Structure 1
Amino acid sequence: MASAEAGPSSASPLLRLLSDPSSSTLIKQGAEAKVYRSYPCGPASSSSPPSWLLKYRFPKTYRHPHLSQTITAQRTVSEARALVRCARYGVEVPVVELVDEKEGILALEWIEGASVREWLGGGAEDDESSVSTRGEVCLPATHCTRLISPLPCPSVQLMTAIGHQLALMHAADVIHGDLTTSNLMVRSTPTSSLSAFRVVLIDFGLSFSSASTEDKAVDLYVLERAFLSTHPHSAHLFQRVLESYGERIGQLWRDPWRDIRKRLDEVRMRGRKRSMVG
């Protein structure tokens, strides 16, 4: 599995790490990237050593080698910069541990927890439908159930937390580009307190920087469509996300929510027209 990525002894440290089957396990694979859970301090053991999430944008044989390396490096660095910028603005995102832009490898903090999709009863993504650019992976469905069952999270509180995080991200002028309930995680900790669970934004593979209210409105619209398609009868939940977003972003800026909300209404109208035309 991971051993197929093995290279010469001169390979980069991160490439050697993900190529070592005793330290890394392939979690997901897509057309653009492979995702591993890795233990940089050695093989996994009962002592639970710290683990990383390695996102490997492997070379694309259908592209010219130089072009492939250039695109891979740009996308890897862009994703890392988006995560760092978000963290500086107080957004809950995985910590960037290491970046190897030449090999296209991003080492991120491993997030223990479950996706908002799973918290809302949408189930775990199967391997076929998972997004290949996803930079972080939630726990298996069986483990998520064990984590969630004894400590149900009130929907209103969860939606409020989501809105706050999205507001912080947009205040940093970062557009996620692929907001779904699968790309929002609820971080778990060893404590039994509900306040110990925090919403973490993941998968910034399609993110970019923009101060445009249009881009922010489209970001919200993409999440709204994800809510309605994945979680039927969830319109009231997303409404709470928007209320929380508006409250928080109004504290960060001088009432930008009015302009963003207006743009969101326009984006919705365009979306309805497209669906009617087909």
Structure 2
Amino acid sequence: MDGTSPWVEEVVLHDGAEARTISGRWFGTDAVMEIRRPKGYRHPSLDQSLTKRRLFAESRILIHLSDFELPIPKLLDFDEKNATIVMTKLSGVPLFEVLRNSNDNELISSIMYSCGKLIRKIHSLGVSHGDLTTHNLLCDDSSFIQIIDFGLGRLSPEIESLGQDLQVLSECLSASHPKFSDAMKFVLNGYTDGEKIGINIDDVISRYQEIQGRVRYHG
């Protein structure tokens, strides 16, 4: 961007097929900018429409959750024309790296329990994530869990979407982190413990188990 822009680019964090993610500063605040990539295989008008819809969805979710002091990014800017979104930068590394590098079962059990509690909190506020992998969960030096990338999320989701969040995480843990075979058990412990407000936890767990059965049947 030009010299009059409030954005100062620093480092490219990720350059993927869906988006380019860059760290920098926005009016002096540590921030992350996501730039959605156009899809050449789609008609330009359709691609613009889908990109706009996804950016709007993520922005609306971040705004909706911003009143609840959750460990998620805060929306700083949304530019429909340039297909960009700017958010506060969170500390920590992807949980993927923590699980890959750790052999501390007690620590990982505690972290996964915390993941479950945070997922339930977001679900109870009427949001599904849509891509709940260990790359989109961050863990800082104090083992504090945060969630990023709500680009596939939904407001006021159906129970299926909530169960699907748990299934996506379960599949990710099984495929990428098999040495922690009980990890999902601790996620579910965290998800089901505590005060049950906003959603029927039993219904979500039942739907998750139903989805698991479908996956096994078709697999």
2:26 to 40, 60, 85: 40
Identity of matched residues, %: 27
Between structure 1 and structure 2, the one with the greater Rg is 1
Structure 2: gaps of 5 or more residues: none
In structure 2, relative to structure 1, the CA distance for the partners of 1:253 and 1:38 (3 Å cut) is: closer
1:89–1:172: 8 Å Cα contact kept in structure 2? no
2:213 counterpart of 1:269: yes
Q: Which amino acid aligns with 2:25?
A: Y
1:89–1:169: 8 Å Cα contact kept in structure 2? no
Q: Which amino acid aligns with 2:164?
A: V
1:251 to 180, 185, 196: 196
TM-score, normalising length from structure 1? 0.69
2:80 counterpart of 1:101: yes
TM-score, normalising length from structure 2? 0.86
The residue aligned with 1:27 is 13
- CA shift at 1:12, angstroms? 9.4
Q: Which amino acid aligns with 2:130?
A: G
2:128–2:165: 8 Å Cα contact kept in structure 1? yes
The residue aligned with 1:140 is none
Tell me, what secondary structure is at the counterpart of 2:130?
coil
CA RMSD of aligned residues (A): 2.8
The residue aligned with 2:65 is 86
- CA shift at 1:166, angstroms? 0.1
- CA shift at 1:32, angstroms? 2.3
1:73–1:103: 8 Å Cα contact kept in structure 2? no
Q: Which amino acid aligns with 2:154?
A: F
Alpha-carbon distance in 1 for matches of 2:78, 2:165: 26
Structure 1: gaps of 5 or more residues: 1-5, 42-48, 124-147, 189-193
1:147-226 to 2 correspondence within 5 Å?
154-188=107-141, 194=142, 197-226=143-172
In structure 2, relative to structure 1, the CA distance for the partners of 1:88 and 1:153 (3 Å cut) is: farther
Tell me, what secondary structure is at the counterpart of 1:181?
coil
Deviation larger for 53-62 or 219-228? 53-62
The residue aligned with 2:95 is 116
The one-character-per-residue Cα deviations of 1:93-143 (angstroms, maximum 9, x if unpaired) are: 01111111221111111122111111112x6xxxxxxxxxxxxxxxxxxxx
Q: Which amino acid aligns with 2:76?
A: E
